[in-house]
Amino acid sequence: MKTVAVIPVRMNSCRLPGKVMMPICGKPLLRYLLDRLERCSILDDLVVATADHPENDQIQEFCNNRGTPCFRGPEMDVLDRLLRALRWRNAETGVLVFGDCPLIDPAIVTLLVEYFQSNTGFDFVGNDLTTTSPPGMEVEVFSVDVLSESASRCADAVMREHGTLHIRTHPEIYKLHNLKAPPHWRRPDLSLEVDTMEDVTVIKRIIHQFRGSIDFTLDEIIDFMDKNPEIGMLNRDIQRRWKPYRDE
């Protein structure tokens, strides 16, 4: 089964517009994410899914220049955009990695995909139904057929804006599994996502620590953050939009 990672990004993000192309140490955040995902051998392909508004032309140009497939679709109907991007790449299994997770560890992607492949009774396997990993390390794996079925059922525009939310909130329809982080990754107190400038400062400190390397691990990040606890305090109190939809 063809397994394809899809990364939804757009310039007009609500809290920090343009964050995906924000340069850190000479490279946009999106490049860090893509560089790390490309080290994940369990993926057959990946695709950036951006919105069709002209302001996202620079995302398209960036992808074109680096040879990364880029699909453009509705800005607010993220569910439709994800589904069409995955169909464009002939995916049978979709792997959702969020655009605000530039330091995603390929080992987490591999862990989730392998679990999904080995447990064929599930429609959806993620590590974000309950927060056990550091936020910013979220991965969701699902059947594209199930995503398509979800799109046909879901007419709520707000829910469609959140992509897989219809699947995640209907366990009576879909067979869901939350894969908890192993003990060495069980650090929900560390925020490694990018929603605000405080988050950018944290990510910048981490990237600068490992400058010259692209494949530093989550274990190394955790070790660095524990040795420098003041960094984690910078964004600890940021309110996150995902909290109403997730157990903690």
- For 23-48, what is the mean pLDDT? 96
How confident is the model at residue 8, as a pLDDT?
Answer: 97
pLDDT tens digits for 142-195? Answer: 999 999 999 999 999 999 999 999 999 999 999 999 999 999 999 999 999 999
Cβ pair 122, 190 in contact under 8 A: no
Q: What percent of the chain has pLDDT over 70?
A: 97
In whole numbers, what is the pLDDT of the chain averaged over residues?
95
| pLDDT at residue 110 greater than cutoff 60 | yes
How confident is the model at residue 159, as a pLDDT?
Answer: 94
pLDDT band at 237 (very low <50, low <70, confident <90, very high): confident
Strand pairing class (45-51; 93-97): unpaired
pLDDT band at 139 (very low <50, low <70, confident <90, very high): very high
How confident is the model at residue 247, as a pLDDT?
Answer: 61
Give the CA-trace dihedral at 147, 152, 158, 164, to 10 degrees.
Answer: -10
pLDDT band at 239 (very low <50, low <70, confident <90, very high): confident
DSSP label at 126? E
DSSP label at 228? -
| pLDDT at residue 248 greater than cutoff 60 | no
- For 5-29, what is the mean pLDDT? 93
pLDDT band at 37 (very low <50, low <70, confident <90, very high): very high
